[in-house]
Amino acid sequence: MPLVTTRRTGLVDQVIAQLRASVTGGEWPVDTRIPTESELADALGVGRNTVREAVRALAHGGILEVRQGDGTYVRATSEVSGAVRRLCGPQLRDVLQVRRCLEVEGARLAAAARTDEDLAELRALLDRRDGHQQHSRHEEFVRADTDFHLAVVRCSHNPVLTELYYGLTEVLMASVATTSAKPVQADQIRHRGLVDAIAAADVEAAGREAGGFLDELLEQLPPC
């Protein structure tokens, strides 16, 4: 049974990659309807259930949108752009407020519990994040920034907090993508300050640094 599951998962992943390529390659532009489930199954030489699972995965990522009774449409060219289209206005404020609650406590705990290995990982992730930001590689930056914040909370070594925060990964990435158009130097200094506070085991400073840049983002949002 595990072998069947593995093969099935691998086949679905292949179909996901093929469908995504049709979107990113321009064969299916944004806002156009893609072929039907049966047409895709015939064209790809797979079962309809496999196509259905692949479409469901891409719809969950925001690339496709299934409209009951009408078909499936291309909503975005990537998971990041799809997330941005879903997250705006009051919902963005709500997400940033929840991020602040979890990230401030995560940073405080990280300052008290981090290991040398944790610090090495944080610095490597921060260097990668800043490199992508400096060279205007937006999608790579969004993923790297998300990985960095996930790592900070993981360094708390609190499995419950980490599990809660990881459950927000999709909206976390969307909020990063939506709010990443800010001065590069100031943003990098703020994140460096967070890592420095964690390295110094300064619990209070880590909490201030984690909350500070989120407060700045919240202040930049228009009033509800």
Token representation of residue 218? 């919240």
Q: Which residues contact 90 (CB under 8 A, 6 or more apart)?
A: 224
Q: What is the mean pLDDT of residues 66-85?
A: 79
What pLDDT, on the 0 to 100 scale, is given for residue 171? 80
Calculate ∠ Cα 89-92-95, nearest 5°: 155
pLDDT tens digits, 190-202: 899 999 999 999 9
Confidence bin at 6 (pLDDT 50/70/90): very low
Location of structure tokens 């989120």: 214
CATH of the domain spanning 2-77, picked from 1.10.10.10, 1.20.1270.360, 3.40.50.300, 3.40.50.410: 1.10.10.10
Mean pLDDT of 50-76: 90
What tokens appear for 38 in the block?
A: 């049966």
Who's near 196: CB < 8 A, 6+ residues apart? none
pTM over 0.75: no
Which tens digit of pLDDT belongs to each residue from 167-189? 788 788 888 888 876 555 556 67
Instruction: Give me the residues paired with residue 71 across strands.
Output: 67
Among 153, 158, 142, residue whose Cα is nearest residue 100: 153
pLDDT at 22: 94
Would you list the domain boundaries of the chain?
2-77, 82-220
5 pLDDT band (50/70/90 cuts)? very low
pLDDT digits (tens, 9 = 90+) for 131-160: 998 888 888 898 899 999 999 999 999 999
Instruction: Write the single-letter amino acid at 188.
Output: Q
Higher pLDDT, 60 or 2: 60
**In angstroms, how far is CA 81 from the centroid of its own chain?**
11
The answer to whether 2-77 and 82-220 have equal CATH topology is no
The type of residue at 99 is R
| Residue written as token pair 């201030």 | 208
Average pLDDT of the chain, as a whole number: 87
The reported pLDDT for the residue numbered 101 is: 95
**How does pLDDT run across 88-104, given as a tens digit for each residue?**
667 888 889 999 999 99
CATH class of 82-220: mainly alpha
